Structure 1
Amino acid sequence: MKVGLLTREYPPDVYGGAGVHVEFLARELRSLVDLDVHCWGEGGADGLLRHRAWPALDGANDALRTFSVDLSMAAALAGRDVVHSHTWYAHLAGHIGKLLHGIPHVMTSHSLEPLRPWKAEQLGGGYALSSWAERTAAETADAVIAVSGAMREDILACYPAIDPVKVHGVHNGIDTELYRPDHDTDVLERLGIDPRRPYVLFVGRITRQKGVPHLLRAARRLDRDVQLVLCAGAPDTPEIDAEFRTLFEELSRTRAGVQWIPEMLPRPQIVQLLTHAAVFACPSVYEPLGIVNLEAMACGAAVVASDVGGIPEVVADGTTGLLVPYEEKEPDRFEHDLGLLLNRLATDPERAAAMGTAGRYRAQREFGWGTVARRTVEVYEEILHADR
């Protein structure tokens, strides 16, 4: 079976959970199918083709530049039996590839544009285009893969024209050999983090979705001895960047031990930070699953996360971490409760350690990438047999 896998992110240019998903899924799929990966960028290698936006669109709206990459990807799919796209950045390529080459299209939905209205702040009128591309691909795809049960429900609610039979649940996964506890402290020391004091850790992009401003306000309730470490970069817009910087500076003036690491750290360094975190914080206001929580759990960190989307399918409340109810209309209450629970675990090392141990066990038992890849191939086979 010849499969074309379409994505914006691919190593070394991975900045979010969808990119992590594609990286590890592709690694496992190569032993099961004949795989070509199409991604953004320059150059390429055997089985990897990189595509760039048309130079004529330099400076144009990002959605238009994305569509030019999609056309390049679609043109390169000749000879494939199945096309599999990830995120709206590649879904239109999958749809056009299906029409152009007469092959079935599978799309994995990592998030949904109708549930991310703040993207209009980033894309302007391009948000209408990204929404159109996602809807068109979703409603015409031969199969849609949802990364959680909650995501499946959201897909069917947002796009009721889709036949529910076509929506398959396949969880994200985690490599528990790459993400495993690292008890060295050289990275902490180099970054100026005191290994003798507990710290709350955040890893993610500075976006409305990831809820970083909520975390900064919640951190006002942390005990004075608890540090806050933010591995946070790639702000969506100047506005969210400015809001983040203002809140960070305000918090830094009132307490010591507030650390911001704006650059994207290599995976081994993130692993060490996760290992030593008293608590990992995930304040997302929307999260179809949340690979980052799996990464934290695999490294033995207790998790405090918002009770949204697919997060409860990963974080077992009271066992591997604590969940905080989120209501858009009650941000103050969310921030109060988030700060309270973060502080509760950060100041109770025995309970946090027990949750971390339980989290690693759960990650190993239930979220292996080999299982994800095999289940994905079953979806390919099902739609290919349906066409015969």
Structure 2
Amino acid sequence: MRIDIVTKEFPPTIYGGAGVHVAELTRVLSSRADVHVHAFGGAREPDYHGATVTSYAQPAGFESANGAVQTLVTDLDIVGDLDGADVIHSHTWYANMAGHLGGLMHGVPHVLSAHSLEPLRPWKAEQLGGGYALSSWAESTAYHGAAAVIAVSEGMRRDILRCYPDVDPAKVHTVHNGIDTQLWTPQTGTAALAKYGIDPDKPSVAFVGRITRQKGVPHLLRAALQLPEDVQLVLCVGAADTPELAREVEGLIGRLRAEREGVVVVEGMIPRGEVTQILSAATVFACPSIYEPLGIVNLEAMACGTAVVASAVGGIPEVVDDGVTGLLVPVEQADDGTGTPVDEEKFAADLAKALSTVLADPERAKAMGEAGRARAIQHFSWETIADRTMEVYAAVAR
């Protein structure tokens, strides 16, 4: 069976959980099928663990166009190269239209994986302007036309059917995200800690993620004001989505630094080896997201043997076993699609309380970390996920 995967992110250009998912799924699927990857961006190595890789730079003449228009033009560039596929599998709205049109053009089933949903990310209008209407149209069209939709969690499946009630529930399948527990594993090295000024002898709360409304960084920064004074806060963050959010976060970090020591900010993408050292050294990992289809970053922390405190939203409760691998923080959210906590002060206080609970008991934190790694190994292996994905392919390719 030939599987053509369409994706915006692919090694070495990965900036989020969807990119990690595609890379790992491709690695494992390539031993089960003839896999062809079609990825946005500059030239890459043409072979990835046995999969054939083709890259697509943005077509000339659209340099000043809206980002959503640039995406759709790149999608059109991919469509012709999907000829010969038995199944087309697209990931995120960026690639969904290529998959949708490719399926129609070549008469093959289009499967898409739902890593997020545009109706639940209205803050993207700040980034894309009118392009948000285009991205929403592209996603909706692809979901309604797909032969199968793969949700990365049961929470995500519920969101899909709520946002797109006309989609047939029978074609929406749940296949969780996964983790490579050979790559994400507890580390004892301290070179990265020394490099970034992290004290390995002090308790610490770590965060890894982009500065986007979805990830809830401002809520964590407000919660950090309420943590014990000796606790370090280590933030490994990417660039902010908008200048307004960047200013908000910078202001909160400035306030935090004015009131306490041990605030470490690591900006930009850093090597996985450094991330695993930081996660392994942390007493607890914090995930304050207000929207998270699954939250692969929680799996990464768990695989490194670190306790997790996370908001109980989306698919996170399917990953973090409350009271066993960490603590979940309930949050009442506005029903306007933004996911904004109804009471932001309460959410920050509840987050601080849960973090403080884990920080106050290092032995319990250690036990939670060990249980988290065991759970990651047992329930979220990429081999299992690849087998489930192949089952979906087989069902639509009949």
TM-score, normalised by the number of residues in structure 2: 0.96
Which residue of structure 2 aligns with residue 298 of structure 1?
303
Distance of 2:43 and 2:280 partners within structure 1: 36
Q: 1:277 aligns with which of 273, 282, 304?
A: 282
1:335 and 2:340 matched: no
Which residue of structure 1 aligns with residue 101 of structure 2?
96
Distance of 2:136 and 2:359 partners within structure 1: 40
Once the two structures are superposed, the pairs formed by residues 186-225 of structure 1 within 5 Å of their partners are 186-225=191-230
Letter in 2 for 1:19: G
1:347 and 2:360 matched: yes
Distance of 2:318 and 2:89 partners within structure 1: 24
Q: CA deviation at 1:55?
A: 2.3
CA-to-aligned-CA distance 1:164-216 (integer Å, 9 cap, x gap): 11001100001010011001111101111001101100000000000000000
Q: CA deviation at 1:347?
A: 2.5
Q: CA deviation at 1:242?
A: 1.2
Structure 2: 5+ residue stretches without partners: 333-340
Once the two structures are superposed, the pairs formed by residues 130-279 of structure 1 within 5 Å of their partners are 130-279=135-284
CA-to-aligned-CA distance 1:196-244 (integer Å, 9 cap, x gap): 1011000000000000000001000110100000001121111111111
Letter in 1 for 2:42: E
Which residue of structure 1 aligns with residue 397 of structure 2?
384
Structure 1: 5+ residue stretches without partners: none
Q: 2:377 aligns with which of 360, 364, 369?
A: 364
Distance of 1:382 and 1:232 partners within structure 2: 40
Q: Secondary structure at the match of 2:142?
A: helix
Q: 1:80 aligns with which of 75, 78, 85?
A: 85
Letter in 2 for 1:191: Y
CA-to-aligned-CA distance 1:63-116 (integer Å, 9 cap, x gap): 000001111111211111110000001001100101111111000000111111
Which residue of structure 2 aligns with residue 69 of structure 1?
74
CA-to-aligned-CA distance 1:340-375 (integer Å, 9 cap, x gap): 111221232111001001000000000000010111
1:26 and 2:26 matched: yes
Distance of 1:290 and 1:35 partners within structure 2: 26
Q: Secondary structure at the match of 1:315?
A: coil
Q: Which structure 1 residue ranges, 4+ long, deviate > 3 Å from structure 2?
A: none
Q: Secondary structure at the match of 2:206?
A: strand
Task: Say what the alpha-carbon RMSD is for the aligned residues.
Answer: 0.8
Letter in 1 for 2:30: R
Q: Secondary structure at the match of 1:362?
A: helix
Q: Secondary structure at the match of 1:365?
A: helix
Aligned sequence identity (%): 59
Distance of 2:247 and 2:12 partners within structure 1: 28
CA-to-aligned-CA distance 1:269-288 (integer Å, 9 cap, x gap): 10111111000000000001
Which residue of structure 2 aligns with residue 120 of structure 1?
125
Q: Secondary structure at the match of 1:37?
A: strand
Distance of 2:171 and 2:163 partners within structure 1: 15
Distance of 2:64 and 2:248 partners within structure 1: 25
Which residue of structure 1 aligns with residue 38 of structure 2?
38
Which residue of structure 2 aligns with residue 17 of structure 1?
17
Q: CA deviation at 1:59?
A: 2.1
Q: Secondary structure at the match of 1:173?
A: coil
| Greater displacement, 43-52 / 245-254 | 43-52
How many residues in Structure 1 have an aligned counterpart in Structure 2?
Answer: 385
